[in-house]
Structure 1
Amino acid sequence: MARLTQYSPFSTDPFADVFQAFLRPIRQQGDDQSPRMDIDITEATDKYVLKAEVPGIDKKDISVTIDGNTVIISANKEKSSEVKEGDNVIRQERYWGRVQRSVSLASPIDQAGAKAVCENGVLVLTLPKTAGSQHKSLQIE
């Protein structure tokens, strides 16, 4: 999935992008630890399909809330690692993080017909549009 980066054509420092690009490999090492959620949304005439990447997150730690045309996905990620040499612990690390994404869609969602499936680190939401969300042209009398 594509990652968005912020660009400002009105930057006061013309070399800011050069220095940021130079430091990017260093800064990305810490970003691998933090949880993130990339999403794809496709629309058909009767439904939306939202795919969210949630690698390493158990489905019991994911919650999905639908409110009208807004979908909120929240997830908690816990990670721990331990490096031993023999019986001695050389390093032990723990990490906990929370990620949340909120998406507003053009049409309200039929909450009763919505489905969620999480397999292989990908959460797939099938979100049918409500029957009243279809456009209708009125005849002027």
Structure 2
Amino acid sequence: MSRLSQYSPFASDPFSDVFQAFLRPVRQQADEQNPRMDIDITEVGDKYVLKAEVPGIEKKDISVQIDGNTVMISANKERSSEVKEAGNVVRQERFWGQVQRSVTLASPIDQANAKAVCENGVLVLTLPKAQGNQNKTVQIE
């Protein structure tokens, strides 16, 4: 479906929309090739439970940093040496490199009691909310 826009002869670059439309398929393919770290976040009482998919990544290559109410997960997947058989690689879809994901939660996290477990390609973070930093409603006098 095409997008209609009003033409203005005084616009700084009247052809910018044409070039963006031309490059859109290239950008979409690049986005599809970038690795993703899919996450689920649930709030259970006084804690958050964050589950992140990290298939094929070893525990030692995963880093979790907590700063206030922001959680940053970094994972690094190294290329292993493979014995190549005769023939050319036609398509390679396995990712090698680093992927990061940052999430900002509504409440600060108690960093001392946060726990992380990684099994079967799923990282599970149990993030208790920090005490004493509850939201407060102030009455207007």
With the shorter chain as reference, the TM-score category is 0.5 to 0.7
Farther off after superposition, 39-48 or 115-124: 39-48
CA pair 98-137 structure 1, distance change in 2 beyond 3 A: same
SS in 1 for 2:132: helix
Q: How many residues are paired up?
A: 122
Q: State the partner residue of 1:111.
A: 111
TM-score, normalization by structure 1 = 0.67
More strand by percentage: 1
TM-score, normalization by structure 2 = 0.67
Farther off after superposition, 36-45 or 68-77: 36-45
Q: State the partner residue of 1:121.
A: 121
Amino acid across the alignment from 2:83: E
Amino acid across the alignment from 2:111: Q
Deviant stretches of 4+, over 2 Å: 79-85, 90-96, 133-141
In 2, the alpha carbon distance for the partners of 1:137 and 1:39 equals 31
> In the alignment, is the contact (CA less than 8 A) between 2:65 and 2:72 conserved in 1?
yes
SS in 2 for 1:60: helix
The yes-or-no answer on 1:67 pairing with 2:102 is no
Q: Which runs of 5+ in 1 are unaligned?
A: 1-7
> In the alignment, is the contact (CA less than 8 A) between 1:40 and 1:50 conserved in 2?
yes
RMSD (CA atoms): 3.7
Shift of 1:45: 2.6
Q: State the partner residue of 1:39.
A: 39
Q: State the partner residue of 1:49.
A: 49
Shift of 1:132: 1.4
Shift of 1:84: 2.6
Q: State the partner residue of 2:84.
A: 83
- The structure that has the greater radius of gyration is 2
In 2, the alpha carbon distance for the partners of 1:40 and 1:95 equals 22
CA pair 116-73 structure 1, distance change in 2 beyond 3 A: same
